[in-house]
Amino acid sequence: MEQKKYWQSFGELNDSEAYQQSGKDEFQEQLPFEADNKGLMEAVTPRRDFLKYLGFSTAAAAVAASCEIPVKKAIPFANKPEDIVPGVANYYATTYVQDGDVLSVLARVRDGRPIKIEGNDLSPIYKGCTTARAEASVLDLYDTARLRFPTVNGKEVTFDAADKAVAAALGNVGAAPVVILTTSIVSPTTKEVIAQFLAKYPGSRHVTYDAVSYSGLLLANEATYGKRAIPSYRFDNAKVIASIGADFLATWLSPAEFAKQYAPNRRIDEKNPQMSKHFQFESVLSSTGASADERFLCRPSEWGAIAVALLGAINGQGVSGIADKKLAEGIEKTAKELAANKGQSLVVCASNDVNVQIVVNAINEALQAGGKTIDWTATINNRQGIDTEFAALVEDMNAGKVGALLIHGANPAYSWFAADKFKSGLAKVNATISFSAKEDETTSGCKIVIPDHHFLESWGDAEPKTGYFSLIQPTIYPLFKTRQWQDSLLKWSGATTDYLGFVKQYWIGKLGSESAWDKALQDGVINPAAEAPLTAGAFNAGAVAGAVSAVSSAKKGGKVELVLYQKVGIGEGQGASNPFLQELPDPITRAVWDNYLIISPAKARTLLDIDLNNNGQADKYETVPAKKVVKVTVNGKSIELPTLIIPGTHPDTVGIALGYGRSEKVGKAAKNVGKNAFILAALKGNTVDFTASDVTLELTKETYEVALTQTHNRYDTAQGNRTEVVKEITLAAFKHDPEEIRREREAELKPFGGIENYEKEGTIYPVYERPGIKWGMSIDLNACTGCGACVVACNVENNIPVVGKNEAMRYHDMHWLRIDRYYSGDMDNPNVVFQPMMCQHCDNAPCENVCPVAATNHSSEGLNQMTYNRCIGTRYCANNCPYKVRRFNWADYTGADSFPDNQRGEVDDVVLNMNDDLTRMVLNPDVTVRSRGVIEKCSFCVQRLQDAKLKAKKAGRPMKDADLDVACKSACPSDCFTFGNVNDKESDIYKARTQNPNRIFYALEQIHVMPNVSYLAKVRNSDEPAHNGGQHHAAPAAEPAHHG
Amino acid sequence: MIHLSRFAGKLIFGFTLAFLLQLGNGAFAQDGKALFSANCASCHSVTKKSTGPALAGVEDRWPDKKMLHAWIRNSQAVIKSGYPYAVNLYNEYKIAMNSFTSFSDADIDAILGYIKTEAAKKPEGPTNPDGPVAESDNSLLFGILTLVLAVVAFILLQVNSNLRKLADDKDGIPAQEPVPFWRNKTYIAFVAVILFLVGGFFTVKGAIGLGRTQNYEPKQPIFYSHKVHAGTNQINCLYCHGNAQESKQATIPSVNVCMNCHMSINEYTGKDKLFNAEGEEVNGTAEIQKLYKYAGFTPGQPWDASKATPIEWTRIHNLPDHVYFNHSQHVAAGKVQCQTCHGEINKMDEVKQFADLSMGWCINCHRTTQVQFKDNGYYSIYEKYHENLKNGKFDSTKGITVEMIGGTECQKCHY
């Protein structure tokens, strides 16, 4: 049987020249020692240069040595608060809330500074996970671009003066209504505060605006269930899942919650292998699509038709109205599986078209999803905006019918497709008041600005799902002269209490006592006493027939169509000012710091004249950052963007990420990054359509550089021989022959003693004992969805520097943990495997042997230790690392050198901005800030391991799993990491390894580096035959499995 | 003869090296003392009556040693049992003694042993508090010895050469023109090598010592005497530096901790005069007034703690940023005495840095210090080591050192 080929880059697929070269060079460039790029000895005057450098370094050393040791002060508290111990972190339960997105979190506070966000285990919705955006939000607190005081007409004023200005402005509105414009409000108390305010100004109203709206879904539910709400989707109860364009594991509605539900059904019990089946119909490859078992390409204009066809097929009328044969077959197959699992299946759709969503509702009804995989008891409150209401507001504003506009969260001047119209309307409103924490596009047009607190400075509550509450408490005293916007509203509505008092009173009223409130605040969440039974909505099928005919008669798409999608980090643009999120590689494209036009390899042939199967052309496209720029025109509006060729894109569809092209006033990270694609959306019917069915593409002569990290870390395996790194098997094959992977490993290691004796017999080195603890990690490739929460968590925990676009383009990215994306199979619609890759902490590490100064060596607990202060920067270790996980500090990214500001002009402004005194408050004081010229890499969060051990020692008992949590593991929404002490037979890691003898494998096992990170092979629930093994035996071998 | 001169040369070189490599070393490890100062000293003195009775001779006073042990572990239980001596004792002081249920018999014996030696040491009360303790440093002796030997070797070499000349004369070998020793290439080379070695040693030592601040004794905003507090008054270190048990930082106590006692203690009445580093006398009462200024306290009036302002102490012990040091690891888990690293702080008026805080100093201690291997349940996972201790494969007197469980590995302190 032919081996399946895994590839990260087109060069690897084709075994191109550039690819072969890249295997030889660990580093893509020479040391910038001389301008002519020659080494020192080839320079024109080597001897003199040598003496110059010698003289300089001697002089520098002498100067440094003669400096007096600075006198440092130690200033204790005047009155030490009882619960604060300097040097020991406190955790406060609070809630991450941003524009309707909610996550119950714990803020880790060290010496008064929140420095890390962790999930709150007590939340039954999020179950202790985080997201990339929530992890990065702690940096937003220390953002230098935050507004630091209230302003009236751009001038700093006191709160009193601002209040007076507001009172005057609101007194002047006359009969014209006051409008509060917000994003979706999930806080019950804030809703009451708004109601109080509105009561004070009769005729005024509250308008909810979501940048990427779910109006279609809300209105469809109103039409079919009589409720303008979104039910809870229960992916945990679904055996068969079909998604039409919905990226529900990364960006759709409530991704953290969904990932937490989805993952357990994807993990496999080896003794009884079963998993859910996931079909994805989409136009541009998303991380959800990458996780799907079967993925079908479609145009966005076909989403409705697919829904109708699915409905028909489930109802036994067969698939109709689908021209594409592959797609039609896919729909038929999906419908069959869905129908066979009624009550255990679920269909979701990303469309914002009311009719399409009505059809999807009808499908779910037909699948008897109500009360099983769809729950109407607890509705999801994350999105409440209705597009027409906002469109009406814009009309009113332009007609001069709005007296005052109070804006919180919403940023339509950026994210409304007709932003100019909104801006002109804004100028016509007499009193414009913004509560934005930053001077975003909308705030720039407002007269009075009273900046809101960051959520880590705020009081409040949130109700992400009906009946499930999460409380917000401040974790730091407000850094600037900011005020919670609810406080402002209360003040202006004449209330005597402040918002804290309001929240407290509200909850003491609900909970019965102050002590119950204290307890709730400590827990961070208030849950129903018992989970209410799931209920189905009362379905009104009246609208379905109309919707089906409306969808069927909808205009067919043009030649090329467009999907506007969101990236997991940037979202609707909230993440654009956060350097951690900008530098988080997109799970699929692996690009950072930009948005771009995604096209298919087929389209590349016609549009760009690049044939990726042609070696020379693929290399030319792939090896340089400069990409051809294409002008995209939709309805007369156009933007120019560089193009990336991404397999898995529908040939006639292109994709652009939203959230880019923001004003640089929201942060240095947003400066000149990407283009705003919101302008390409349009109001279609009564909802905003984030797809476009008729797009013109026009190749320009320009090129634009995009920083792609996918080709940065090339392993030296034979071309295409990735089965040594990633192992994948289908569920059918696994059931048929569970030991295939194990047998393959056994055969490979046979000459060296087989799996059991490989460690001892595969080497001439002695085998060392690990008497106490031996750390190990196991990663379940089945569960990983590539969401990137772990990557950001790692960055924040370990003070990993941001390097900026230019450095990233030069292969200088610093992430300790990366998520490798592998394609396999058909280039037009490949399978994708995500593989988190970090230092494997090899017991027989090749990096350790080559370090001339022993800066990297092994610990008795199995850690591959990196000692920064010993490192002299030879980079031999990085060169010798088979996994390419070692990172070199090419520049002084962190400002750790003795000479401040020495990197100005050398690195991007955003990197320098990370060295601002304010931004540096985010640094973890337990982890060294590395300076230029040293190597760094994953340490298994050794600071946390040491802490866990110390905790156990102080308690005088052995260390347990509960004592420790590494950053990536605690962040992961799909629990794909297991970490712990392998020597402890009670530990999860021991169990993970021993209970999965048939799926466990080690990357590049055959080179005998003995990694301490093991992987569990990816199992895909598809009918494709097995394709992993070299020798494929018809039946399992007679030899019994030896569970070691 | 040539062999002899080579031998002599080697000898001198060896002595020089021995002289150069002389290193001073000191260690403190007194279990009973540690336990006493950690647990008893806040209420008891050996010689003076304070909250509780003076403890000198306590073993003789108690009729039954067993009952004494029981009393120390849980005094209330003994009183309840109606043991007459205990009841009398309680009636005399009317303060219940804390219970120390975790003490083992060995612990208590160690404490009692310490009390005994301490009582024997000070038969006539507090004595000889000051006065530099003569350090037993043999460097000078070795130096003189080396010099004497060098001179002897030099004379011997000269004698040797003269004898050879005589012998040659006798044999009739024509004598060469005698070279005076200061032009003798061997001597010149030898002196050059010595100078290089000595110079190199001091250069390297100086370079290594850059940034180290042993004996650093800055002037502090308040003349706070550890000798008065921890020495004379026997206040437990952890009363003020309690964080040392919980946190990486021991932390300097906040003003409110000082005021706990100094609300009532507003003058210095100690017998010993206080002297600063320059030898000038310091007025203790005036220093307490300085504290009041920071605290915003006027004696005789109620204190409003919110008026207090923090004191800007000068930090003495500084570790580089790339070193992770955790006090609680050493104090709570390792049961290391404060004095091991900070010196006899209870004898210092103003604190000075006792150790050089170099990595070599840390490592040396990690190599020799035993972990609480048998007492701490954490170490139960080292099954093999326990076995080796039992069957004698490991020297049980040396026990399990920090090094043996990986305590000298890089990432125990650098991450």
Shared domain check, B162 and B67: no
**Confidence (pLDDT) at A543:** 86
In angstroms, what separates the C-alpha of B207 from chain A's closest C-alpha?
A: 8
User: Which structure tokens are listed for A620?
Assistant: 């030319």
pLDDT of A40 above 60: no
Q: Is B412 near chain A, with CB under 8 Å?
A: yes
Domain that holds residue B402: 368-412
pLDDT of B13 above 50: no
Q: Which domains does chain A have, with CATH numbers?
A: 6-13+714-1020 (3.30.70.20), 151-213+385-526 (3.40.50.740), 215-380 (3.40.228.10), 558-708 (2.40.40.20)
Q: pLDDT of A635-691, one tens digit each?
A: 899 999 999 999 999 999 999 999 999 998 999 899 889 999 999 999 888 899 999
B383 belongs to a structural domain: yes
Confidence label for A3 from pLDDT (cuts 50, 70 and 90): low
Task: Choose among A74, A79, A981: nearest Cβ to B252.
Answer: A74
Furthest C-alpha separation in chain B: 106
In angstroms, what separates the C-alpha of A741 from chain B's closest C-alpha?
A: 33
Interchain contact, B314 vs A73, CB within 8 Å = yes
Total domains, chain B? 4
Q: What is the mean pLDDT of residues A940-969?
A: 92
ipTM value of the model?
A: 0.85
Nearest to B249 by CA among A84, A955, A869, A952: A84
A172-181, B77-86, B249-258: the lowest-pLDDT one:
B77-86
The DSSP 8-state label assigned to residue A724 in this structure reads G
Shared domain check, B13 and B47: no
CA closest to B245 among chain A residues:
A954
In angstroms, what separates the C-alpha of A839 from chain B's closest C-alpha?
A: 15
Task: Choose among B246, B311, B322: nearest Cβ to A868.
Answer: B322
**Confidence (pLDDT) at A969:** 94
- Measure the CA–CA gap between A468 and B214, rounded to whole angstroms: 59
Q: Looking at per-residue confidence, does A922 or B67 come out higher?
A: A922
Task: Choose among A859, A866, A958: nearest Cβ to B406.
Answer: A859
Distances (CA, A) of A754 to A749, A760, A1036: 5, 10, 18
A247 contact partners, CB below 8 Å, separation of at least 6: A255, A282, A286, A287, A288, A289, A350, A565, A566
Shared domain check, B381 and B252: no
Q: Looking at per-residue confidence, does B19 or B372 come out higher?
A: B372
Q: Looking at per-residue confidence, does A1039 or A462 come out higher?
A: A462
Distances (CA, A) of B126 to B120, B129, B181, B272: 12, 7, 61, 10
Nearest to A845 by CA among A1013, A723, A1044: A1013
Q: What is the mean pLDDT of residues B224-243?
A: 89
Nearest to B353 by CA among B272, B274, B277: B277
Could you say which residues from 373 to 402 on chain B have a Cβ atom under 8 Å away from some Cβ of chain A? 375-382, 384-385
Interchain contact, B381 vs A77, CB within 8 Å = no
**Confidence (pLDDT) at B42:** 62
- Measure the CA–CA gap between A480 and A484, rounded to whole angstroms: 12
B395 belongs to a structural domain: yes
**Probe site for chain A from B208, B410, B412, B413 (most A CB atoms < 10 A):** B410
Shared domain check, B17 and B150: yes
Could you say which residues from 189 to 208 on chain B have a Cβ atom under 8 Å away from some Cβ of chain A? 207
- Measure the CA–CA gap between A322 and A312, rounded to whole angstroms: 12
**Confidence (pLDDT) at B164:** 85
**Confidence (pLDDT) at B51:** 61
Q: pLDDT of A281-296, one tens digit each?
A: 999 999 999 999 999 9
A400 contact partners, CB below 8 Å, separation of at least 6: A176, A428
Q: Looking at per-residue confidence, does A649 or A712 come out higher?
A: A649
Shared domain check, B342 and B259: yes
User: Which structure tokens are listed for B90?
Assistant: 């309680």
Task: Choose among A79, A865, A958: nearest Cβ to B255.
Answer: A79
pLDDT of B163 above 50: yes
**Confidence (pLDDT) at A938:** 94
**Probe site for chain B from A67, A953, A1012 (most B CB atoms < 10 A):** A953
Shared domain check, B249 and B337: yes
Calculated CA dihedral for residues A698, A703, A709, A710, nearest 10 degrees: 50
pLDDT of A1027 above 60: no
Q: What is the mean pLDDT of residues A345-369?
A: 92
**Confidence (pLDDT) at A715:** 61
Q: What is the mean pLDDT of residues A42-47?
A: 68
B216 belongs to a structural domain: no
Contact A290, A834 (CB under 8 A): yes
Q: Following DSSP, what letter does each residue of B316-374 receive, concatenated?
A: -----TT----HHIIIIIS---HHHHH-SGGG-SS----S---HHHHHHHHHHPBP-TT
Contact B128, B121 (CB under 8 A): no
**Confidence (pLDDT) at A10:** 81
Contact A206, A194 (CB under 8 A): yes
A589 contact partners, CB below 8 Å, separation of at least 6: A596, A598, A644, A646, A708, A710
pLDDT of B9 above 60: no
Interchain contact, B315 vs A72, CB within 8 Å = yes
B112 belongs to a structural domain: yes
CA closest to A89 among chain B residues:
B247
Q: What is the mean pLDDT of residues A748-769?
A: 86
User: Which structure tokens are listed for A652?
Assistant: 């006639």
- Find chain B residues with C-beta within 8 A of A839's C-beta: none
Could you give the percent of chain A with pLDDT greater than 70? 93
CA closest to A772 among chain B residues:
B382
Distances (CA, A) of A785 to A126, A134, A519, A541, A832: 16, 17, 35, 36, 10
Confidence label for B7 from pLDDT (cuts 50, 70 and 90): very low
**Confidence (pLDDT) at A1:** 35
Task: Choose among A928, A954, A958: nearest Cβ to B322.
Answer: A928
**Confidence (pLDDT) at A1035:** 39
Shared domain check, B270 and B333: yes
- Measure the CA–CA gap between A677 and A179, rounded to whole angstroms: 27
Give me chain A's average pLDDT, please: 88
**Confidence (pLDDT) at A847:** 93
Q: pLDDT of A503-553, one tens digit each?
A: 999 999 999 999 999 999 999 999 988 888 888 888 888 888 888 888 888
Nearest to A924 by CA among A801, A797, A815: A797
**Confidence (pLDDT) at A799:** 93
Shared domain check, B198 and B266: no
Q: What is the mean pLDDT of residues A779-802?
A: 94
pTM, entire model: 0.84
**Probe site for chain A from B325, B335, B358, B378 (most A CB atoms < 10 A):** B378
B224 belongs to a structural domain: no
CA closest to B242 among chain A residues:
A85
Q: Is B318 near chain A, with CB under 8 Å?
A: yes
Within A577-706, strands assigned E span: 591-592, 597-599, 626-634, 637-645, 653-657, 682-684, 687-689, 691-692, 696-705
In angstroms, what separates the C-alpha of A88 from chain B's closest C-alpha?
A: 6
In angstroms, what separates the C-alpha of B90 from chain A's closest C-alpha?
A: 33
Task: Choose among A73, A79, A959: nearest Cβ to B308.
Answer: A79
Q: pLDDT of A18-36, one tens digit each?
A: 777 776 666 666 555 444 5
**Confidence (pLDDT) at A182:** 94
In angstroms, what separates the C-alpha of B333 from chain A's closest C-alpha?
A: 5
pLDDT of A983 above 50: yes
Q: Is B218 near chain A, with CB under 8 Å?
A: yes
Q: What is the mean pLDDT of residues B288-313?
A: 89
pLDDT of B134 above 70: no
Could you say which residues from 240 to 259 on chain B have a Cβ atom under 8 Å away from some Cβ of chain A? 243, 246-249, 251-257
**Confidence (pLDDT) at A41:** 59
- Measure the CA–CA gap between A856 and A848, rounded to whole angstroms: 5
**Probe site for chain B from A68, A77, A957 (most B CB atoms < 10 A):** A77
B362 belongs to a structural domain: no
**Confidence (pLDDT) at B98:** 72
Interchain contact, B329 vs A950, CB within 8 Å = yes
- Find chain B residues with C-beta within 8 A of A949's C-beta: 378
**Confidence (pLDDT) at B303:** 86
Q: What is the mean pLDDT of residues A83-100?
A: 91
Give me chain B's average pLDDT, please: 81
- Find chain A residues with C-beta within 8 A of B310's C-beta: 75-78
Give the pairing type, strands A6-7 and A818-824: antiparallel
Interchain contact, B252 vs A772, CB within 8 Å = no
Q: Is B3 near chain A, with CB under 8 Å?
A: no
- Measure the CA–CA gap between B413 and A647, rounded to whole angstroms: 47
A170-174, A197-201, A501-505, A871-875: the lowest-pLDDT one:
A170-174
Shared domain check, B385 and B331: no
Q: Is B359 near chain A, with CB under 8 Å?
A: no
Give the pairing type, strands A404-408 and A431-434: parallel
Most confident of the following: A233-247, B279-293, B298-312: A233-247
- Measure the CA–CA gap between B85 and B60, rounded to whole angstroms: 12
Q: Is B213 near chain A, with CB under 8 Å?
A: yes
Looking at this protein, which amino acid is placed at residue A109?
V
Q: Looking at per-residue confidence, does B256 or B133 come out higher?
A: B256
Shared domain check, B36 and B19: no
Shared domain check, B345 and B403: no
Interchain contact, B415 vs A943, CB within 8 Å = yes
**Probe site for chain A from B411, B412, B413 (most A CB atoms < 10 A):** B411
Looking at this protein, which amino acid is placed at residue A90?
N
- Find chain B residues with C-beta within 8 A of A73's C-beta: 312-315
Task: Choose among B252, B324, B406: nearest Cβ to A861.
Answer: B406
B215 belongs to a structural domain: no
User: Which structure tokens are listed for A672?
Assistant: 């000149």
User: Which structure tokens are listed for A669?
Assistant: 């990270």
In angstroms, what separates the C-alpha of A1000 from chain B's closest C-alpha?
A: 26
Q: Looking at per-residue confidence, does A82 or A336 come out higher?
A: A336
Q: pLDDT of B172-230, one tens digit each?
A: 777 677 777 778 888 889 889 999 999 999 988 888 887 888 888 898 999 999 999 99
Q: Is B368 near chain A, with CB under 8 Å?
A: no
A&B contacts, CB < 8 Å? 152
A64-78, B170-184, B314-328: the lowest-pLDDT one:
B170-184
Q: Is B310 near chain A, with CB under 8 Å?
A: yes
Shared domain check, B159 and B12: yes
Nearest to A189 by CA among A181, A197, A179: A197
Which domain CATH number covers B100? Answer: 1.10.760.10
- Measure the CA–CA gap between B401 and B336, rounded to whole angstroms: 13
Q: Is B329 near chain A, with CB under 8 Å?
A: yes
CA closest to B403 among chain A residues:
A860
Confidence label for B131 from pLDDT (cuts 50, 70 and 90): very low
- Find chain B residues with C-beta within 8 A of A870's C-beta: 410
Task: Determine the length of chain B.
Answer: 415
- Find chain A residues with C-beta within 8 A of B331's C-beta: none
**Confidence (pLDDT) at B4:** 44
3-state DSSP assignment of residue B113: helix
Interchain contact, A868 vs B378, CB within 8 Å = no
pLDDT of A723 above 70: no
